[in-house]
Structure 1
Amino acid sequence: MFVFVSGTVRSGKSEWAERAAMALSLGGPRVYLATAHVLDDEMRRRVELHQTARQGRGFSTLERPRDLEGVLPSLPWDATVLLECLGNWTANELFGEGGGIEDAERTIKKIHRAALMLRDRTANLLIVSNDAFCDGIRHDAGTDAFLRVLGELHVLLAKDADAAVECAFGLPRLARGAMPGILPGDLSGI
């Protein structure tokens, strides 16, 4: 099953996605695919908080900020993979190692292709992303390019997913598809 999960910062999307991954895995391996690039102490603290929250939940962690195709051979076929987060991955691909806003279309294609390869290579894939589109602020060209790429990826991945879930105020809402046995009508149980 492929589940796309989005929401604003501190919306509950990560916690919900972790619990959904645990419910979907049914004893199979759980892999947390972390895309954050730890560049400062604040980010290091956020990563440590996430790691502490996952303790005892049976996740092994793979850290890979970009070029996620490289993790495919190491993933068990019966794995449930929780990828956190599409926003970090997008920024890392778009702006990392000589990239820039002129690479927007290439970045969309690369991430979309890799996400579908992850979906096809695992039992379950959950991709978590930030809804960063509601601030109404005019941004510089780089931020505008990032938001456009991320928005296009949201549309593509939500369409490809078996289910798309949006979190707000700690509450998940099934926006598209179905999650039989996980979200049968009532989203609050996960």
Structure 2
Amino acid sequence: MNPTQRQNPPPEHRRGRPRSETVERSITEAVVKLLEEGASLADLSIERIARTAGVGKATIYRRWKGKEDLFLDVLKDVEPTDPELPGTSVRDDLVAMLESLRQRGLAKRSSALLHNVFAQMQNYPKLWAAYHANVVEGRRRTGMAIVRRGIDEGLIRSDLDTALINDLFVGPVLLRTVLRPDGVLDGDLAEHVVDAVLTGLAPSRQPESRG
């Protein structure tokens, strides 16, 4: 046996056991199955989830601290994924960001599962807070980073709070997806909002002085 073989044993001889993505997928799919069958979040015990997934309770607890952590991962799975921003311009990135919000609004309208989970989730303060901390805040930071680029590039006025500017972009889409579930979500909504807000937030041009 050469030295390289002694230093790097075959994978089957290495210590430790990798987490099984197949097992994790079976657990999250079990939660989705139970919710689709009409179970509420309150009805879903770890024991019931484990039985549906065909695993032991200990298998679930090795991966999640409890139901709320598991529900958070399930929610991330069933929601539309965050888009990869094109990076070609501030406008293009803003449009991509708002388009993802529009798509989530459409998904919540068409998916009884998403609609019901979000309605129930507000009764779980810890889960609601975790969703905001792990999902919503990440998207908010992304939006504010785009806004700061717009300010640096001279496209957006610099005398307003960055968070407020981000809210001006995101607000109209959230209004139609959250507060007005019957609001129109046309395919060009993101572009219209971005162009209108960018125009309104463009730095004022000082008139040239005449000698």
Interval of TM-score (by shorter of Structure 1 and Structure 2)? under 0.3
The structure, 1 or 2, with the larger RCO (C-alpha pairs under 8 Å, 6+ apart) is: 1
Which one has a larger percent strand, Structure 1 or Structure 2?
A: 1
Q: Provide TM-score, normalisation by structure 1.
A: 0.25
The structure number with the bigger radius of gyration is: 2
Which one has a larger percent helix, Structure 1 or Structure 2?
A: 2
Q: Provide TM-score, normalisation by structure 2.
A: 0.23
